[in-house]
Amino acid sequence: MKIFFTSLTLLGIIFWLANCKVPTKSAAVVSDPYAESRGKHVAAINLLIKGREQVSVDSVFQNLKVLGGFPAENLVFAMDKWAQALGVDCSHCHNTGNWASDEKPQKEIARQMVNMGELINAELRKIPGLKSERPTVNCITCHRGALKPALRMQ
């Protein structure tokens, strides 16, 4: 059951991230200093999973403790978007020489944040009268491209 809700939440996050536009203070294009680095890692991982993109993520990647039950290519996409939402590159949470490693505490924090997002989203769905049919919070809801979430409106 947890895999089902995790998959639904992840798919909702992926859909939202793919379709959202983050408002900026000006019309100027916001620079992403980690886009190139993330792009290289995403391309390398996509090469590693070539031919297995639609295989369950649990069968393609190792040491998944929170996510599972969806196609492997979705994880690569989601991780890229989550890193973008936090304004970091892959090496913030991962040892990029050993993706399965848990040596970085940020990886466990990210897992706990996914769990927190699932809990919040479950509670949001219980609130009657919300204008959204599928209310969703995710990384970008709070982080807005910065590692430390905003504590007040600017």
**pLDDT tens column, 72-115:** 999 999 999 999 999 999 999 999 999 999 999 999 999 999 99
Q: Which CATH architecture has domain 2-17+33-143?
A: Orthogonal Bundle (1.10)
Q: What is the pLDDT of residue 4?
A: 46
Nearest to residue 136, comparing CAs of 2, 8, 4, 48?
A: 8
Residues of the chain under the 50 pLDDT cut: 1, 4-5, 8, 15-17, 20-28
Nearest to residue 16, comparing CAs of 127, 114, 134?
A: 134
